[in-house]
Amino acid sequence: MTTDLYPAARDLLAKLVSFDTTSRGSNLALIEWVEGYLDGLSIPHRRVPNAEGTKSNLMARIGPEADGGVVLSGHTDVVPVDGQPWSTDPFTLTERDGRLYGRGTCDMKGFLALALAAAPELAKGGVRRPVHLAFSYDEETGCLGAPAMIEQIAALAAKPSVVVVGEPTNMEAVNGHKGIANFHVTVTGREAHSSQTHLGVSAVMEAVKLMKSLTDLSARLEAEADPASPFTPKGATLTIGVVHGGTAHNILARECQFVFDLRCPSPLRPETLIAPFLAEAEALDRDLKARAPEAGVKVELTSNVPPFAPEPDGAAEAFARRMAGDNGPPRVVAYAAEAGQFQGAGFSTVICGPGSIDQAHQPNEYVEVSQMQRGALFMRRLIEWASEG
């Protein structure tokens, strides 16, 4: 009789959730703990750190150094809990009414826990197909960590055949996602008393002009969406997420900053859609500098995650459907993930993991026990696949 992997996965999830790996901080404590876990199983591993050494990806291979393996990929970072009305400690796993609550349970430490739960049996020997673990950092801030690790995986002498990115999909195969480009805009003005508008430049007032243009672009993108698109929402979307500016009601603001994201399904590209806005920002920059030399507009592209496109007869999708027992229709998701980055490096890729994106980033985030149990069955089938002759 085969062992149920769920109890081990639950215990591992409790440990992973206990690490506060909010993207603004470090994930090294979690990485070090996972390394110790892998050391106990004699599984080789290596870090792929960031330039500062404050965060790291983690790569591991279980089984022979051979072609044809599978990569189980997931990110270790989570979004903040600040200001959210949690009813439990977000960094303590809490089980209630068939749900496991905690930050990252759904997005996406549940999948990491399932992969680690499968590791002991995979490491016992007899595995003929390699299983690679690829745990990344800073996915939530623009998929910044994975590219360096993907580059090293692509350079392996024995290359994996398929990649499973374990974002929450209710354990159903997903073959496409939108790309996302993140922008940071800084408008600089000149401070003055608000009654003396001729002596200064209000950065807030000028920034509002740019935000109005983005609001108009958002409406146009919605109106021009392809009705045949499989995505929900169907077309490209643009949202302004954060705005900071000003000092007091009676001071012309010296600075205003805002950030926005642009999400595009393939084949749309953010560079094309945003070009008119960038031209407008450049024109405003010239105008502000003419009024005050220290004033101006700066637009920075902080990240640009490629879309993930459905693959005709995709090997990874077929693999995930076999492991998950999924015979459903083709599916895509509106959120961005690291799948497009893996695909761009030449890997057949699929997204499949426990939980629903509806619970991700929410207060009282949870993954259903039944989803983790389905994930445990996925890993059981994967172990059998890896052991096949």
> How many domains is the chain partitioned into structurally?
2
Same domain flag for 11 and 56: yes
Same domain flag for 16 and 165: yes
Same domain flag for 172 and 224: no
> What pLDDT, on a 0 to 100 scale, did the predictor assign at position 231?
94
Hey, how many other C-beta atoms are within 10 angstroms of the C-beta on 268?
19
What gap in Å lies between CA 14 and CA 92, rounded to an integer? 7
What gap in Å lies between CA 153 and CA 45, rounded to an integer? 12
Cα 89 to Cα 16, 101, 371: the distances in Å are 14, 9, 22
> What pLDDT, on a 0 to 100 scale, did the predictor assign at position 136?
98
Q: 9, 113 in Cβ contact below 8 A?
A: yes
Mean pLDDT of 41-51: 97
Per residue, the 3-state secondary structure of 26-56, as one string, reads CCHHHHHHHHHHHHHCCCCEEEEECCCCCCE
Residue 1 lies in a domain: no
DSSP H or E run through 260? strand 255-264
Residue 94 lies in a domain: yes
Q: 296, 288 in Cβ contact below 8 A?
A: yes
What's CA 280's distance to the chain center, in Å?
Answer: 30
DSSP H or E run through 383? helix 369-387
> What pLDDT, on a 0 to 100 scale, did the predictor assign at position 112?
98
Mean pLDDT of 212-223: 98
Handedness of CA 73, 79, 85, 88 (dihedral sign): positive
Mean pLDDT of 286-290: 98
Mean pLDDT of 200-210: 98
Same domain flag for 265 and 380: no
> What pLDDT, on a 0 to 100 scale, did the predictor assign at position 40?
98
> What pLDDT, on a 0 to 100 scale, did the predictor assign at position 389?
59
Q: 100, 133 in Cβ contact below 8 A?
A: no
Residue 100 lies in a domain: yes
**3 has pLDDT over 90:** no
Instruction: Check which CATH number belongs to the domain holding 186 and give it.
Output: 3.30.70.360
Same domain flag for 156 and 229: no
**61 has pLDDT over 60:** yes
Same domain flag for 230 and 294: yes
Mean pLDDT of 213-236: 96
- Dump pLDDT digits (tens) for 359-387: 999 999 999 999 999 999 999 999 999 99
DSSP 3-state percent helix, strand, coil across the chain (nearest 5):
35, 25, 45
* Structural domain that includes position 340: 6-176+308-387
How does strand 162-165 pair with strand 348-351? parallel
Same domain flag for 15 and 109: yes
- Dump pLDDT digits (tens) for 100-140: 999 999 999 999 999 999 999 999 988 999 999 999 999 99
> What pLDDT, on a 0 to 100 scale, did the predictor assign at position 341?
97
Structure tokens at 70: 């599978």
**281 has pLDDT over 50:** yes
Same domain flag for 172 and 190: no
> What pLDDT, on a 0 to 100 scale, did the predictor assign at position 125?
82
Residue 241 lies in a domain: yes
Q: By percentage, how much of the chain surpasses pLDDT 70? A: 99
Mean pLDDT of 93-100: 98
Q: Which of 270, 305, 340 is the last residue of a domain?
A: 305
> What pLDDT, on a 0 to 100 scale, did the predictor assign at position 1?
39
**Which positions are annotated as active-site residues?**
77, 139
Same domain flag for 255 and 144: no
What gap in Å lies between CA 337 and CA 340, rounded to an integer? 7
Q: Which of 305, 320, 346 is the last residue of a domain?
A: 305
Mean pLDDT of 298-326: 96
Q: Which of 273, 305, 337 is the last residue of a domain?
A: 305
Confidence of residue 2 (pLDDT cuts 50, 70, 90): low
- Dump pLDDT digits (tens) for 334-363: 999 999 999 999 999 999 999 999 999 999
> What pLDDT, on a 0 to 100 scale, did the predictor assign at position 126?
83
In 3D space, the residue among 37, 118, 44, 39 whose CA is nearest the CA of residue 386 turns out to be 118
Q: 176, 230 in Cβ contact below 8 A?
A: yes
Confidence of residue 171 (pLDDT cuts 50, 70, 90): very high
Task: Tell the burial category of 119 from Cβ atoms under 10 Å away from its Cβ (0-12, 13-18, 19+).
Answer: buried
> What pLDDT, on a 0 to 100 scale, did the predictor assign at position 276?
98
**299 has pLDDT over 80:** yes
Same domain flag for 184 and 169: no
Residue 136: strand, helix, or coil: strand
**195 has pLDDT over 60:** yes
Instruction: Check which CATH number belongs to the domain holding 35 and give it.
Output: 3.40.630.10
Q: Which residues, in sequence order, are CB contacts of 236 under 8 Å at separation 6+?
A: 178, 221, 225, 262, 263, 264, 265, 268, 273
Same domain flag for 222 and 284: yes
Same domain flag for 16 and 88: yes
The pTM of this model reads 0.92
Cα 141 to Cα 75, 152, 181, 256, 356: the distances in Å are 11, 21, 11, 21, 20
Cα 69 to Cα 39, 56, 125, 153, 264: the distances in Å are 21, 23, 15, 11, 31
